[in-house]
Structure 1
Amino acid sequence: MNKILTVILLFFAAGTVIAAAPVYIGFDGGYGQKSDTSAKAIELGAQIAIDEINARGGVLGGRPLALLTMDNQGLTMRGRDNYVSLAKQQDLIAVLGGKHSPVIVESIPDAQLMKVPYISVWGSANQITDTITSDSYMFRLSLKDEWGVAALLAQAVNVSTNRKVCVLLPNTAWGRSGERVLREKALGTKANLTSVNWYNWGDKEFKTQLDACTDSGATVILMIANEPEGAQIVKEVAQKPQNQRLPIVAHWGITGGDFAALTGNDLNLVDLSVIQTFSFVNNTRPKAISLSKKVMAAQGVKSPALIHSPVGVVQAYDTVYLLAEAVNQAKSTQGVRIRNALEHLSPYDGAIKRYAPAYTAANHDALDRRQVLFVRMKPDGAIIPIR
C-alpha cells in the first residue's frame, strides 16, 4: 500500500503559536500522474483556506487545522487503501477526493464502514452521491454528471449543425455515469447520438473512434476525457483536413492537467469548449478575488486566466471552510457528528456562491446546474469563459 504521506501543519494564529493538538483533513489525489495539475491545485486551495482559518484562531476553541495528503496515482485500489489509512488517523474529520471518480466510487463501502465523511471536490460521477442513504458519508462540492453531462449535451447540440452527436467515453465508472445521463437526456433534447465509442485510459491512438464519428454523420464530438487521452484526441482531430475537423465539447477532466503543453499549437486548430463550475476571470465575489491573488502568487502566474486547474482550487477552498463550520458546530472530531453537522450547516458565502445551505439530509451535493459555464483553452494555458 502506498505510504507516501505528507503532513502540512500551520500552528500560527494572529502571530502566536497554537499549542493545541491539530484537527486533520485528508486529501487523496493523483500526484504521481506526470501531466496532472489537479492534485496540487486542490492541495493549494485547501491549504490557503486552512492558513486563513488558523490565522483567525483555528477550530474548536483554538485547535489548528492540518492537511494530510496521499498519492493514489489514479489507481482505484491504491485510492481505497489511502482512504482507509487517512480515515484511521485520530482527529481526522473528513477525506477530500480528487479528479478520478473511479477512485472515489471504489471507496464508498469503506466510507460507510469507517464513518468518516468522504467529500469529492472534483470527481463528478453520479454514483458518488447517488448511493445516498439516511446515513451516507459521501458528499460532493463539485459538478455532478446528472446535470453536468446534460449541459454538455445541450452545448453539443448548439454547436452541431444537424443535432448529430458522436460520443467518446472512457471505459470507467466516470464514462458509464456519463453514458447513462446522455442516453436519458438525448430523448428529451432531440439529440441524435449517432455513435458512442469507448476507449481505455492509457490509449495512445483514436483513429478508430474518430473515423466512427465521421462515418456516423455527426457534426460535433462530445468528449469525456482526462488530459492525456483528451490531448491525443485533439491532436488527431487537428491533423485532419480543415473541413473534416469536428468541433469538440469536452468534460472538465482535461483542465486537471497540463493540457496546453500536451496539445501545443494544435489547440488553435480545433473548436474546443469545456465545461466548468467556476472561473476566476472577471469574478466579482470578494472571496474569489482574494483567493485569486493568493493562488496567482503561489503558482507564479500573472493573470487569473492562467491559474492551473481553477475548479480544483476553489472547490477545495470552499469545502475546507464548510468543514471548519461543521467541526465547530459538532464540537467534536467524531465522523458521525461531523456528518450530521454537514447536513445542518448555516448559510455560508463562499468563493463560488452562497451556500444556503450546502447540504441537507436529502441532498449531499453542494453545487447545481446554475454554476455551469463553458470555457476556451489557449495554448499559453489560459482558460477563458465563453461569453
Structure 2
Amino acid sequence: MAKYCLVVLWLCFSAYALGESKNLPTIHVYHDSDYSTHKASAVAIKMGFLTALSEVDKQVQGFEIKLLSKDHRGNSNRSFLHFKRFLKDPSALFVLGGLHSPPYIKYRAFINKNEIPLLVPWAAGGPITRYDQGENWVYRLSVDDTKAGPKLVEFATARSCKKPHLFLERTPWGKSNYKSIGKAMNNEQPDVIWFDWGMKASSAKIHIREMLAKDSDCLLFVGNSIEGKQLISAMADYPNDQRLPIISHWGITGGDFFSKAKVDLASGIDLHFIQSCFSFQHRPMSDYAKKVWQRAKTLFPDEFAERDFLFAPTGFIHGYDLGKVSLAAMAQIKLTGDMERDRIAFKESLENLTTPVSGLIKTYKKPFSKWSSNDPDAHEALGLKDLCMAYFQSNGSTKVLVDNS
C-alpha cells in the first residue's frame, strides 16, 4: 500500500512538473532562413542549434527557449517582414540567420537601428557584420567573404592555376566577393562573368566557352546550389581535356546540389569548395564530437535513417557552435522578460564573454568584441585559419582537406 501511494505521489508530482515546464515564460529565437529552395542549409542550421539547446533542456533561468522557423524562400523582402514581426513579438530575443547574404546586406541599417541581435551561421557577405553608422548588432560564426576570397585564391595558386576566371552571381554577395578576390589577386579588375539567379546549363556552357577562349585555367565560382548544378552540368558536356577545375564558395552545399549533380560529378569534374575546418568525417573523432553526434542522431533519427552523415554539415556545425555561444551569453546576464532590455544585455554579453565556450570547430575565447572601423573583424568568430577546402565523396559526404592536400 505504501509503495502504491508513493507511486501515485510520484506520478502526480511528475504531471505537475510537466505542467509547470509547459507554462514557463518563453524566449523566442527567430530562424530567418530559406526552407524552400535551399532547405538542406536551413534544416542543418536548425538541427545544430536545437542540439545545443537540448544540452540545457531548452531552458535558461526559468525561460523556455523556442526556435521559430521562418521561411523567407530566398526573398529579401520576406526576410524583412520577419524582422518586422520580430519587433512586435514581446518574447523575441534574437534572430538566427540563414544562407542568403542579400537580405542582411539590404536591410542591415534597419536591423541595426532597431537593435535586433542577428547571429549568422551561414551568410558570408562581407558587409553584413561591418555596419559603421552606429551600434553594430550583427554577429557571425561562419565563412566571411573577406577571408573566403583569399582562401579561394590561395587554393587556386596551390593548384597551379595561373589565370583564374571569376563566375559570380549578380547580387551584393557576388559583388562583395569580386572585391575580396580581386584584392587577394592584386588585381582590382579580374576577369569576371556575372550570372543571374535561375541561370540554365545552356547559358553556363556559353560562359565556359568564353573562359576557354581567354585561356583561363580554373574557374572561381560564387553562387548557390541551383546555379551550381547548372554549372556542373554544362562543364560535364565538355571533353575532359577542356574542362576547367572549379574552385567554389560554399553556397553550393546549401541545397540538394549533390543529389542532382552526382552523375556529372562522377564523370570526373574537378570541384572543390570552401568550408570551416571541422568535420564529423575526421577520424579519430574526439570524445566531444562523438557526444554531439550521438545526441543529434537521437534527436533527429529520421535525418540519419538512410545515411550516417549530414547534407550541408557546416550548417549543423555553425548552428551548434552559435547555440553554445548564445547560451553562454544568456548565462552571463539576468534575463528579465523585458526583451528590449534583455536584447541590450545580451549584446553586451556576446561582446564580453568571460568563460571559454567549447564548440565543434574550436574553443571560443571571447569570440566577439565591440565593433569599430579599427577592428572590422570584431563580430567575426572565425578567422582565416579556421577555413579549409573540401570536396564531395562518392556518397555525398564532405571530405575536408587539411593544408590543401
TM-score by length of 1: 0.89
Is 2:399 the counterpart of 1:384?
Answer: yes
Q: Equivalent residue of 1:209, what SS?
A: helix
Is 2:369 the counterpart of 1:360?
Answer: yes
Q: Equivalent residue of 1:122, what SS?
A: coil
Distance 1:326 1:145 in 2: 26
Q: How far is the alpha carbon of 1:91 from its aligned partner?
A: 2.5
Q: How far is the alpha carbon of 1:300 from its aligned partner?
A: 1.4
Structure 1 residues 30 and 79: CA distance shift in structure 2, 3 A:
same
- Name 1:318's counterpart in structure 2: 321
**Residue deviations 1:153-200 (CA, integer Å, cap 9, x gap):** 111122235x1101100000110010000111111xxx8986211000
- Which amino acid counterpart does residue 344 of structure 2 have in structure 1? V
Distance 1:375 1:15 in 2: 45
- Name 2:9's counterpart in structure 1: none
Structure 1 residues 29 and 128: CA distance shift in structure 2, 3 A:
same
Farther-moved stretch of structure 1 (79-88 vs 222-231): 79-88
Q: How far is the alpha carbon of 1:75 from its aligned partner?
A: 0.6
**Residue pair 1:267, 1:378 contacting (<8 A) in 2 also:** no
Structure 1 residues 265 and 27: CA distance shift in structure 2, 3 A:
same
- Name 2:212's counterpart in structure 1: 214
- Name 1:8's counterpart in structure 2: none
**Residue deviations 1:222-247 (CA, integer Å, cap 9, x gap):** 11111110111011111101100111
Distance 1:242 1:114 in 2: 53
Q: Equivalent residue of 1:229, what SS?
A: helix
Q: How far is the alpha carbon of 1:285 from its aligned partner?
A: 4.2
1:1-387 equivalence runs, <5 A: 18=21, 19-33=23-37, 36-54=39-57, 58-60=59-61, 62-132=62-132, 135-161=135-161, 163-187=162-186, 195-204=191-200, 205-268=203-266, 269-277=268-276, 278-282=278-282, 284-296=285-297, 298=300, 299-300=303-304, 306-332=309-335, 333=339, 334-346=342-354, 347-362=356-371, 363-386=378-401, 387=405
- Which amino acid counterpart does residue 198 of structure 1 have in structure 2? W
Q: Equivalent residue of 1:53, what SS?
A: coil
**Residue pair 1:250, 1:272 contacting (<8 A) in 2 also:** yes
Distance 1:227 1:88 in 2: 34
Structure 1 residues 65 and 286: CA distance shift in structure 2, 3 A:
farther
**Residue deviations 1:102-122 (CA, integer Å, cap 9, x gap):** 022223122223212011110
Identity %: 27
Distance 2:228 2:39 in 1: 13
- Which amino acid counterpart does residue 145 of structure 2 have in structure 1? D
Q: How far is the alpha carbon of 1:313 from its aligned partner?
A: 0.7
**Residue pair 1:276, 1:374 contacting (<8 A) in 2 also:** yes
- Which amino acid counterpart does residue 90 of structure 1 have in structure 2? P
- Which amino acid counterpart does residue 181 of structure 1 have in structure 2? S
Q: Equivalent residue of 1:54, what SS?
A: coil
Distance 1:231 1:378 in 2: 16
Unaligned segments of structure 1, at least 5 residues? 1-11
Structure 1 residues 173 and 129: CA distance shift in structure 2, 3 A:
same
Unaligned segments of structure 2, at least 5 residues? 1-14, 372-377
**Residue deviations 1:9-39 (CA, integer Å, cap 9, x gap):** xxx9x98852420112111110121x53101
- Name 2:3's counterpart in structure 1: none
- Which amino acid counterpart does residue 349 of structure 1 have in structure 2? S
Structure 1 residues 28 and 344: CA distance shift in structure 2, 3 A:
same
Q: Equivalent residue of 2:93, what SS?
A: strand
**Residue deviations 1:312-367 (CA, integer Å, cap 9, x gap):** 11111111221122223221342111111110112211122111111011301111
Farther-moved stretch of structure 1 (40-49 vs 286-295): 286-295
* CA-atom RMSD in angstroms: 2.2
Q: How far is the alpha carbon of 1:132 from its aligned partner?
A: 4.6
- Which amino acid counterpart does residue 175 of structure 1 have in structure 2? G
**Residue deviations 1:72-113 (CA, integer Å, cap 9, x gap):** 000111111112212332232110110000022223122223
- Which amino acid counterpart does residue 391 of structure 2 have in structure 1? R
Rg (Cα) greater in structure: 2
Distance 2:286 2:148 in 1: 23
Distance 2:178 2:395 in 1: 32
Q: How far is the alpha carbon of 1:128 from its aligned partner?
A: 0.4
Farther-moved stretch of structure 1 (14-23 vs 35-44): 14-23
Structure 1 residues 170 and 21: CA distance shift in structure 2, 3 A:
same
Distance 1:135 1:179 in 2: 27
Structure 1 residues 286 and 15: CA distance shift in structure 2, 3 A:
farther
Q: Equivalent residue of 1:136, what SS?
A: coil
- Which amino acid counterpart does residue 290 of structure 2 have in structure 1? I
**Residue pair 1:134, 1:361 contacting (<8 A) in 2 also:** no
**Residue deviations 1:251-272 (CA, integer Å, cap 9, x gap):** 1011111111111321122011
Structure 1 residues 115 and 200: CA distance shift in structure 2, 3 A:
same
- Which amino acid counterpart does residue 350 of structure 1 have in structure 2? G
Q: How far is the alpha carbon of 1:302 from its aligned partner?
A: 6.8
Distance 2:123 2:218 in 1: 25
- Which amino acid counterpart does residue 324 of structure 2 have in structure 1? Y
Distance 2:220 2:305 in 1: 31
